[in-house]
Amino acid sequence: MARAVEGVLGDELEAGMVVVKYGHGGTLQKTKVLEGNHPDPDQGGYESTQRILAFLQENLQKNDLLLVVISGGGSALLPAPVSAITFKEKQEASALLLRSEATIQEINTIRKHLSRVKGGQLLNYTQGAEVITLLLSDVVGDDLASIASGPTNPDPTTFSQCMEIIYRYGLEKKIPQSVLKHLKSGAAGTPGSEETPKPGDPRFERVHNVIVGCNMQALEAAAEKARQLGFSPLILSSSITGNTADVALTHVAIARQALETGDPIHPPCCVISGGETTVRMTGTGKGGRNQEFALWCAREIANWSHSRVLFASVGSDGTDGPTDAAGALASPETARRARERNLSIQDSLDRNDSYHFFAELGDLIMTGPTLTNVMDLRFILIGS
């Protein structure tokens, strides 16, 4: 995104600074590229955020135009905790939330209330300059307030909602007590615990948020490619959320019906869906929601006699969770090949160890960094 801005503006661009995931950077002409970790924020991201905030305060004036380029992952890459908690405590809270069953919207609600920049608060550092924010959406429904936790967008969420989320997932005894105290103080309206700026706040009068890419665009491009390859495409939805196992079982049911009845689409076909699911953590293995999806599919189709069906799921950024794989693929042959290598699908599911399972079979999908992020894409490919 920063490279595109440099290409369009040329000499009109004064200077820039961006933070990206490790290994996803490059050299630009006028924009300094910093790095941090994702999905768990780290010291590199924290220090990069401090540099960006200092850059804004030192260089911006009210009559300037600031272009803010944001993609999914910004919540982790732009960490700036409120003064009431330490960065380490925010790291602990973030890790706990990511490993819970909370949705990304719920996670971002809490992130915004633990941050100095999220939930519209980046505007506290822009000196009143006019702001155009260009966004690649990685959230269901393309909610501006949720993409990277909405640093330049009004925040409709509240401290009280944060507490509801904490109790909903039983996190009150697990989350750092300083974090819990801060959220409770905000919910109680304690002086010094300022709410995030809400819709109608005058700070947003000179702010323009524009979505330039989203999951549906990726699904439509995939559908067109499937058509070129001779498969009839069917896009289910770009808004699929929920537990990864449940989503996998639904996709298996759709494939079974297509094979047996030709509904909802007749083979050869490519069924495509998008969105972002969550994983119920029961083990300490390595993997991501896309690899977990493929592993659940492998379990459910282990006894299928049909050999002309393939399931795949990938993260559009080229990385699935804390792994170097974009995702994985599964077919009715997966279970047989696993048995030959003494691999247990159920054991791998119990340990959430989908990465090592598919690595052993050579069925990880490795794309490398794509330098974009518009959520996940899932495929069911059925031959004639």
Q: Which CATH class is domain 215-382?
A: alpha beta
Closest CA to 159 of 141, 139, 179: 179
- Report pTM: 0.84
205-244 core/surface letters (b: 16 or more CB in 10 A; e: else): ebbebeeebbbbbbbeebbeebeeeebebbbbebbbbebb
The residue type at 266: H
pLDDT score at 272: 98
Q: What's the confidence (pLDDT) of residue 48?
A: 97
- State the pLDDT at residue 73: 85
Which parts of the chain register pLDDT below 70? none
Same fold for the domain at 2-213 and the one at 215-382?
no
Domain boundaries, the chain: 2-213, 215-382
Measured in whole angstroms, the distance separating CA 134 from the mean position of its chain's CA atoms is: 17
Task: Give CA–CA dist 371/373, Å, rounded.
Answer: 7
pLDDT at 139: 87
Q: What is the pLDDT of residue 72?
A: 83
* Identity of the residue numbered 239: S
Q: What is the pLDDT of residue 118?
A: 96
Q: Which CATH class is domain 2-213?
A: alpha beta
